[in-house]
């Protein structure tokens, strides 16, 4: 599995790398929502949350916490969104897993409110039944 992010890991193309350890790399997104928008990626590629090693995913979250704290300390953010697009239907464009750390500035209106589905009590019950069974497997 080779994407543009492998080229960044291998230093074949430039990126603004802000953090690196044995498991992950963090670099600035090339089309930031706000300045400081960072991507945290695993060095050993996997596609997304569905095939990722849970320990590596947990480490990505730890590094996202450090990046978020740094963005707040440096006054590059008033808050942050953590976003992970998993699968084409969810808007994933680069199929090498990545966690977006998106700095938000008060009043930036960077994201519109998501649409909401209408669910009847029967819908909730049907979904709950399926999910409880699936999670117990």
Q: Which is nearer to ligand AMP, 31 or 112 (CB)?
A: 31
* Strand partners of residue 83: 100
Are the C-beta atoms of residues 40 and 54 closer than 8 Å to each other?
no
- Rounded to a whole number of angstroms, the minimum distance from the CB of residue 91 to ligand AMP is 5
Task: Enumerate binding residues for ligand AMP (CB under 6 A).
Answer: 4, 15, 29-31, 39, 85, 91-94
Q: Which is nearer to ligand AMP, 14 or 121 (CB)?
A: 14
| Residue 98 known to be catalytic | yes
One-character DSSP codes across 56-79? HHHHHHHHHHHHHHHHHHTTS-SE
Q: Which is nearer to ligand AMP, 12 or 122 (CB)?
A: 12
- Rounded to a whole number of angstroms, the minimum distance from the CB of residue 34 to ligand AMP is 12
Residue 31: which of 102, 91, 124, 86 has the closest Cα?
102
- Rounded to a whole number of angstroms, the minimum distance from the CB of residue 54 to ligand AMP is 20
**Of 37, 96, 98, 100, which residue is the catalytic one?**
98
- Dihedral (CA of 42, 46, 49, 52) sign: negative
Q: Alpha-carbon distance 37 to 27, whole Å?
A: 9
Active site residues: 98
């Amino acid at each position: 599995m080779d994407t543009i992010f492998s080229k960044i890991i291998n230093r074949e193309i430039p990126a603004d790398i802000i953090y690196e350890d044995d498991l992950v790399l963090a670099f600035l997104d090339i089309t930031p929502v706000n300045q400081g928008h960072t991507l945290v990626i695993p060095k050993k590629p996997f596609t997304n949350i569905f095939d990722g090693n849970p320990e590596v995913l947990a480490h990505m979250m730890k590094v996202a916490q450090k990046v978020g704290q740094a963005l707040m300390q440096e006054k590059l953010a008033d808050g942050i969104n953590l976003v992970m697009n998993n699968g084409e239907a969810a808007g994933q464009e680069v199929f090498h897993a990545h966690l977006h750390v998106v700095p938000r500035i008060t009043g930036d209106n960077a994201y519109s409110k998501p649409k909401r589905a209408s669910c009847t009590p029967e819908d909730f019950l049907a979904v709950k039944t399926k999910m409880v069974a699936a999670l117990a497997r």
